[in-house]
Amino acid sequence: MARIIDLLAAGRTFSFEFFPPKTDAAQLSLGRTIAELETLHPAFVSVTYGAGGSTRERTRDLVVWMRKETNISPMAHLTCVGHTRADIDAILDTYQAAGIENILALGGDPPTDPADVRPSDYEYALDLVEHLRNRGGFSIGVAAHPEGHPRSASRAADRKFLADKLRHADFAITQFFFEAEHYVRMIDELAALGVSKPVIPGIMPVTNRGQVQRMAELSGAVFPAWLADRLDGVDDADEVRRIGVDAATELCAELLAAGAPGLHFYTLNRSTATREIYANLGLPVS
């Protein structure tokens, strides 16, 4: 396996994100998706972590399975919310024993049910990053929001917090967005703060308009009018995916031309759109 910071130092990375399945049928479907995407030779894949640690065991099991049964380097998400330092150390012990070398350190969302709220020793993602750095043994990533975190007081404040995280972390992966200018501006603003560590743009092709629009609102991304115009009046699911893939391909090409260190695809546990974008970009497959 490989540390992501070393992969980035060697060249551009192309990577995917999955979420832990909740049912046996979803597990089988994800297994097929992983097998299909393995032919694209991803540098790494990431596995999400539910609100308040709600998918803690499923995330761990999927990451460890991928480490043992595939040739893909997995990166596990970890969140501050609902975890003590002892909780985090126990999780990290499991990952180190399994040979997991990459962690994405996140603030995380609180559980939707107040009854599920658990104590936390961390207030911000930076606290978790510092814990990971002091412990050693992991390549550490953090999240970035090109259009600003929805809870940030301002874009300037958001950039300061991101710069502080990146001074301790190795790299960042962005939330998805739809226009390259947001990413380029963020990189310029980080550079003005003296930070030049790799920031990998996150890409989510529109395959279901309503779903992606809801997710964009939650993450602070604007669903642009030009993309809405392309999709207006389109009811056929295949045509929606074609339009979404075309728009995502255009975005990827612009980002690569602007010098992005790679691309990270939010797959929603499906492979079709990502494989189509790869083909459109002429990226290697087997």
Write out the catalytic residue numbers.
Answer: 17
How far is residue 211 CA from its own chain's centroid? 17
The Cα 113–Cα 232 span in angstroms is 36
Q: By the 8 A CB rule, do 103 and 139 touch?
A: yes
**pLDDT tens-digit profile of 154-171?**
999 999 999 999 999 999
* pLDDT tens-digit series, residues 41-60: 999 999 998 765 667 788 88
pLDDT confidence tier of residue 123, bands split at 50, 70 and 90: confident
In 3D space, the residue among 58, 50, 57, 99 whose CA is nearest the CA of residue 79 turns out to be: 50
- In this predicted model, what pLDDT tens digit does every residue of 261-282 receive, in sequence order? 999 999 999 999 999 999 999 9
Q: Please name the amino acid found at residue 247.
A: A
Region 105-119 average pLDDT: 73
Q: What are the Cα distances from residue 144, in Å, to 55, 148, 214? A: 22, 8, 19
pLDDT at residue number 139: 97
Taken in order of first residue, the domains within the chain and their CATH numbers are: 4-281 (3.20.20.220)
* pTM value surpassing 0.75: yes
Token readout for 220 is 């602070």
| 198 CB-near residues (< 8 Å, 6+ apart) | 8, 170, 171, 172, 261, 262
The three state secondary structure string of the chain is CCCHHHHHHHCCEEEEEECCCCCHHHHHHHHHHHHHHHCCCCCEEEECCCHHHCCHHHHHHHHHHHHHHCCCCEEEEEECCCCCHHHHHHHHHHHHHHCCCEEEEECCCCCCCHHHCCCCCCCCHHHHHHHHHHHCCCEEEEEECCCCCCCCCCHHHHHHHHHHHHHHCCEEEEEECCCHHHHHHHHHHHHHCCCCCCEEEEECCCCCHHHHHHHHHHHCCCCCHHHHHHHCCCCCHHHHHHHHHHHHHHHHHHHHHCCCCEEEEECCCCCHHHHHHHHHHCCCCC
Condensed to tens digits (0 to 9), the pLDDT of residues 221-250 reads 999 999 999 999 999 999 999 999 999 999
pLDDT of residue 260: 98
What is the average pLDDT value for the chain, to the nearest integer? Answer: 92
Q: What is the pLDDT of residues 179-227, one digit of tens each?
A: 999 999 999 999 999 999 999 999 999 999 999 999 998 888 999 999 9
Local confidence band at 22 (pLDDT 50, 70, 90 cut-offs): confident
